[in-house]
Amino acid sequence: MPGVSARRLSHEERRQLAVNLTRVVTLYRSILDAYIIEFFTDNLWGTLPCSWQEALDGLNPPQLATLLLGMPREGEVARYRSVWPLTLLALKSTAYALAFTRTPGFQTPSEFLENPSQSSRLTAPFRKHVRPKKQHEIRRLGEVVHTGPRHPPHHVVRWVDPTALCEELLLPLETSPQSGARLLLTGLHACGDLSVALLRHFSRCPEVVALASVGCCYMKLSDPGGYPLSQWVAGLPGCELPYRLREGACHALEEYAERLQKAGPSLRTHCYRAALETVIRCAQPELRRPGVQGIPRVHELKIEEYVQRGLQRVGLDPHLPLNVAALRAHQAQENRVVAFFSLALLLAPLVETLILLDRLLYLQEQGFHAELLPIFSPELSPRNLVLVATKGPLGEAFSLLETEDS
């Protein structure tokens, strides 16, 4: 997917990008804030402009991947069956132009060419019981640590699982200087408040000389222990990011585009869940968006069978009388549900970019040296942008990390 490289932007250009992003996010807030499971209960399709409905209605999943998300099959030429409204074309172009590029300097990682499930560049202890995605991330993040700042750290403090963060482990870094020891903090998919905790400790602790953070989610901007917004972003109208909008930043655009191209039956899951929500609210109006434990092999179930299992999982009577005709009418709108979800996914990288840009600007305002690099394959690891920061000049140390030549 096209995009802009953070490394090629000046500080002023980064600030202007933040302005442009907040304008776009504010303009299309209704799409970003929507829950796809409320597609029928909130008539989400009806919230789109009529001209958008006409352009998107009837498109099958591969057409959505090619025409809307701009991810055609290799050698495929995009062919529009009708003239799309300029507003929809403008949204598509804007989404491509303002998001940070997620394309590293390689295609399929060469480490998996011989065996798609075993990295050729990791020894056996690092591969045992580890999925290819994590093998790839371990190797690439290891290269970040190895490349490191000009004066390498003595220790690497690393969290992979957000639940592993303990304040009692980080607090001594602020209160007990370790006689000149240099630390590097890393967080892999540091969701929730872990990313902001890493930033906070990097900025406060003199012993922490470098940071490598992957992940973009905030808890709440006003949470105690969070870090302040960059001065520039904080002054922009519409920069507040409520939970639903921030949740959308954690997307898997490339993976979903591949699912669209394959047009498999698993795509109907969102439609089935949205239909289930209509039944839940009819039976118990105060129960909204309850979590439904995974229902295995959804694509093999009739919609009424799925609804019955779903009712049982949220504590309602699975034998409630169902309007099967209404459920099947919902099922007939499956492609509309997929189209709306694809629209939200098209916008998701803009939210991710704004969050990461805010962190980049914040670190620069504190006098640190920071860059954002796409070092993972987005097909393997959707969160593939790493925020690298040091308290000394970065120089060209990290330039090779965007390729596989490091």
* pLDDT tens digits for range 93-105: 999 999 999 888 7
Among 84-98, 217-231, 273-287, 365-379, which stretch is predicted with the lowest mean pLDDT? 217-231
Closest CA to 211 of 222, 203, 219: 203
Strand order in the sheet with 385-390: 155-159, 183-188, 208-214, 385-390, 369-374
Q: Give per-residue burial for 189-225: e unless 16+ CB within 10 Å, then b.
A: bbbebbbbbbbbbbbebebbbbbbbbbbbbbebeeee
Instruction: Name the band, by pLDDT with cuts 50, 70 and 90, for residue 161.
Output: very low
Q: Residue 163 has what pLDDT?
A: 45
Q: Residue 200 has what pLDDT?
A: 78
Q: What's the pLDDT tens digit per position in 301-329?
A: 999 999 999 999 999 999 999 999 999 99
pLDDT averaged over every residue in the chain? 83
Instruction: Name the band, by pLDDT with cuts 50, 70 and 90, for residue 14.
Output: very high
Q: By CB neighbour count within 10 A (0-12 exposed, 13-18 middle, 19+ buried), where does 237 fall? A: exposed
Instruction: Name the band, by pLDDT with cuts 50, 70 and 90, for residue 251.
Output: confident
Collect contacts of 50-56 with beta carbons under 8 A, ≥24 apart. Answer: 51/85, 51/87, 51/88, 52/85, 52/87, 52/88, 54/82, 55/82, 55/84, 55/85, 55/88, 56/88, 56/336, 56/339, 56/343
Closest CA to 160 of 200, 131, 121: 131
Q: Specify the pTM.
A: 0.87
Q: Residue 57 has what pLDDT?
A: 96
Mean pLDDT for 288-309 is 92
Residue 243 pLDDT > 60, yes or no? Answer: no
Tokens of 378: 């987005």
Instruction: Name the band, by pLDDT with cuts 50, 70 and 90, for residue 386.
Output: confident
Q: Residue 220 has what pLDDT?
A: 42
Cα 216 from chain centre: 7
Q: Residue 30 has what pLDDT?
A: 92
Give the integer Cα–Cα distance in Å for 170 and 176: 10
Q: Name which residue leads in pLDDT, 218 or 91.
A: 91
Q: Name which residue leads in pLDDT, 281 or 245.
A: 281
In SS3 terms, 310-338 reads as HHHHCCCCCCCCCCHHHHHHHHCCHHHHH
Q: Residue 234 has what pLDDT?
A: 65
Cα 17 from chain centre: 19
Residue 400 pLDDT > 60, yes or no? Answer: yes
- The H-or-E segment that residue 159 falls in is strand 155-159
Q: What's the pLDDT tens digit per position in 15-36?
A: 999 999 989 988 999 999 899 9
Among 20-24, 124-128, 175-179, 352-356, which stretch is predicted with the lowest mean pLDDT? 175-179
Mean pLDDT for 283-302 is 91
Residue 158 pLDDT > 70, yes or no? Answer: no
Q: Residue 404 has what pLDDT?
A: 66
Residue 242 pLDDT > 60, yes or no? Answer: no
CB 269 within 8 A of CB 347: no
